Amino acid sequence: MDFIAMEEEEFGFSRNYFLAKEMGSSGKKSARKLSDINVVDEQELREASANIEPKH
């Protein structure tokens, strides 16, 4: 293997490592955000949206 091929292979490995690490942590973030959502009854939501006053 020549020097350039070794360098490209090493760069590809490090890039894939960081991409995988980033994807793993993004799953944790989205799971946390989903758990922060409060479940609301559909009828209650419809009533609240009907009472919203337009700004203009």
Residue 21's pLDDT band (cuts 50, 70, 90): low
Give, in degrees to the nearest 5, the angle at Cα 16 between 10 and 19.
Answer: 145
pLDDT per position as a tens digit, 29-53: 556 666 677 778 889 988 998 888 8
Residue 6 has a pLDDT of: 54
Residue 56's pLDDT band (cuts 50, 70, 90): confident
Q: Which residues contact 36 (CB under 8 A, 6 or more apart)?
A: none
Where are the domains positioned within the chain? Answer: 3-50
Compute the Cα dihedral for 17, 19, 21, 27 and give only its sign. Answer: negative
